[in-house]
Structure 1
């Protein structure tokens, strides 16, 4: 495994032209119908003291129709995923897949493997328990009924730096901050890789411990249940968290009798070990005797024999959960995969410069600072005008349909269609496909707006350094989009 230790501070600065910050509203020679309206919206009292940037371009010509602080460098939050997605499509291609492979070494005699089983991760963030069961069954179908050896995980495709450099340690136990590994597992088809789904339901009587189940059901993740079932009239106060720097998941608080189940996706400690433990169970369920087998981390030897392989969905399909559900883990995996495929090094250090290069090739001409692939960093800096320029040039690429289809569709209630926009901008006459972004003090929206008359607009809205309810800022963003569409009240 390639050891990088701690990541050095990464500052990818692409400087082609340095623009002065726009300190007033600017519209181009032909004033668009929405210019005055957007300017008025930006005077909202809740934006006082905040840093705000807006960029609107003509989708057909790339003409910059309106900008406010369009060249100001701001935190994009999950709008960063737009840059990661277009870079992945550029560098890897729409058909790119991830492979998980099972090997063996030693000899097979009388259905006994006198050697080790290896499971090699290819970075697949969509690998689930069902696929591990299929891989185990394929091993069984090769005539292996007993393993006199160990089960070894090979996660060497990527480096051993599990978390992006700016991730807050308080996010470490949540699915939004899950560790990144080339061998990882998702508990459900939301594909939150590196997590386990924990469900807590009340006991039958007050004073009893609540009932805890996990998906997948694996003993390798220690569950410490300190919660208590209380009377029905009492308040629920339940916490499900993994302890910082530990594998233990601790459950504390009260669960009232009759309360609904509480479900939480918790980031596991060492995803490769977790995945290997689930694979070991799968081998056992397939009828293979693994009593003497230990689980460990290592490498597939050159003389090992391939026994089974699972290939993921292509990138064009992965973009749906990545963009629509704003899956942070996918963004980080894609950065490392780009680095591995293009530079032979699966790391943020190798991948992020290539994301920056792709952004430049797609029309970004100002400085930018990229620190991760998901937008979780509070240090990533991008200009609104550069984001809308990338949106324009993406339209000329052969993979554009795959990118466009991956974006959330405003007002569409189906979760894997509307995504993070399913409850926003409902009832509009045109179509809006855009990526949302949200961090503490940060909100963004960037994408495409098309009217029923055939007009197409590209927009980016970024708000930083605000205090208060994010819902208010999202409402302001929506008002700007409605003004662009000519549908404001």
Structure 2
């Protein structure tokens, strides 16, 4: 693999979701373009358009002894007051440069979302979209949730973000037009929210962590987020009320009724589609969106024939990764977001996934790279590992719970070495243990970035 790496992260310039990477590389104008201070490290340097499947990276093998020295220092860092497991690999040579308990399963926090991303992209497909439909049966109109929790409303934005790609107002306009063409101006509206089942909040997530996600449903407005802070208690109800208002504004008299499953004889009269799964995955990873991750888990369960609930999503995800041949010994999942403190994942598994993204082993996973947050630039790494030496050089998925910290991804070093890593710190029980452990983690990656 020397000299060339089939890089999944780099080919994002060919994808719609890759605009962020292109923008950050100053290849296209946008909010992430930098002319001073921090510049995102080339990943890789693209001299001219080339086939997406293989791009010359010009990366060189990392200085093995220096990496080992830095890793040894991190392994014995006195700021780490709990368990530490991590692995480091040279992406150019595929050689493990350091392994401290890489096979040990620990609490991964939001690195769980990396597993969810793999299962979602492989099972649902990167280009699949999620429909929100209206179905008519007699005078009863059904609003049918298809798993899109990021519905939006009319906006002046030329390019609609993932959270508002499908427009409730568009659905209302389509529906009203069809109703009027059939001579109908009065309907009874029923919500069909039956795609998922079970409790809207995960019983395997501690009460203190449940505030970090919306109750899961098959339909929601802007991820179920409340107007100012937190999440709506009834995201499906909020989305339905917005639709009712929009439909009334189109001249339709709406009589709300209790929800139920759409009858088989109902006819579709309106439809809007979500952003593609690959863009939803990118958002879930970059922003560590818990509601989006759990919704993906439910959708994975639906697609694979498992119960469409939290337990079904977690089990389906494990089955998909096992089928793909990943190292699953000791791995346990109780959710798809990482809010559950019962999850256990090994650094070896996270490293294997990162390697597959880098080498493009599974083409459908290539967009995971766009979802990795960029140090000092965006997402959950926007304020971490920043500055002129390391800013833009670390790309990865973060994870944080009260007693656990994790980070997995890649470092594109100053001298052109590409280093993969996966780090999990667990049982951080002291009052300041989490903060100190994260500082130690960040310092290690900063030092790697300067090599």
Q: Say yes or no: TM over 0.5.
A: yes
Q: Equivalent of 2:420, from 438, 458, 476?
A: 458
Partner of 2:18: none
How far apart are the structure 1 equivalents of 2:214 and 2:265?
Answer: 33
Q: CA deviation at 1:270?
A: 3.1
1:439-478 residue CA offsets vs partner (Å, 9 max, x unmatched): 1111111111122443221111111122234443222111
Q: CA deviation at 1:345?
A: 4.0
For the 8 Å contact 2:413–2:448, the answer to whether it is kept is no
How far apart are the structure 2 equivalents of 1:279 and 1:437?
Answer: 36
Question: Does 2:226 align with 1:196?
Answer: yes
For the 8 Å contact 1:409–1:422, the answer to whether it is kept is yes
Partner of 1:370: 333
Mapping 1:299-310, distance limit 5 Å: 299-310=261-272
Question: Does 2:89 align with 1:89?
Answer: no
Question: Does 2:287 align with 1:287?
Answer: no
Partner of 2:111: 79
How far apart are the structure 2 equivalents of 1:393 and 1:362?
Answer: 11
C-alpha spacing 1:67/1:471, structure 2 compared with 1 (3 Å): same
Partner of 1:127: 151
Q: CA deviation at 1:69?
A: 2.0
* Gap regions ≥5 residues in structure 1: 1-29, 107-114, 187-192, 198-262, 413-417
The secondary structure found in structure 2 opposite 1:445 is: strand
Partner of 1:408: 373
When the two structures are aligned, how many residues end up with a matched partner?
368
TM-score, length-scaled by structure 2: 0.77
Question: Does 2:101 align with 1:140?
Answer: no
Partner of 1:399: 364
More helix by share: 2
Q: CA deviation at 1:147?
A: 4.9
Partner of 2:221: 185
TM-score, length-scaled by structure 1: 0.71
Partner of 1:202: none
C-alpha spacing 1:170/1:147, structure 2 compared with 1 (3 Å): farther
Partner of 2:383: 423
Partner of 1:156: 194
Between 38-47 and 135-144, the greater mean CA deviation after superposition: 38-47
Q: CA deviation at 1:481?
A: 1.2
How far apart are the structure 2 equivalents of 1:444 and 1:170?
Answer: 19
Mapping 1:263-282, distance limit 5 Å: 263-264=228-229, 266-282=230-246
For the 8 Å contact 2:394–2:410, the answer to whether it is kept is yes
For the 8 Å contact 1:368–1:381, the answer to whether it is kept is yes
How far apart are the structure 1 equivalents of 2:290 and 2:325?
Answer: 23
Q: CA deviation at 1:148?
A: 4.1
The secondary structure found in structure 2 opposite 1:135 is: helix
The secondary structure found in structure 2 opposite 1:178 is: coil
For the 8 Å contact 2:136–2:269, the answer to whether it is kept is yes
For the 8 Å contact 2:75–2:100, the answer to whether it is kept is no
More strand by share: 1
1:257-313 residue CA offsets vs partner (Å, 9 max, x unmatched): xxxxxx31x3223332222122111111222222xx023210111111111000011
Q: Equivalent of 2:83, from 46, 51, 65?
A: 51
Q: Greater CA radius of gyration, 1 or 2?
A: 1
Q: CA deviation at 1:332?
A: 0.6
* Gap regions ≥5 residues in structure 2: 1-62, 155-166
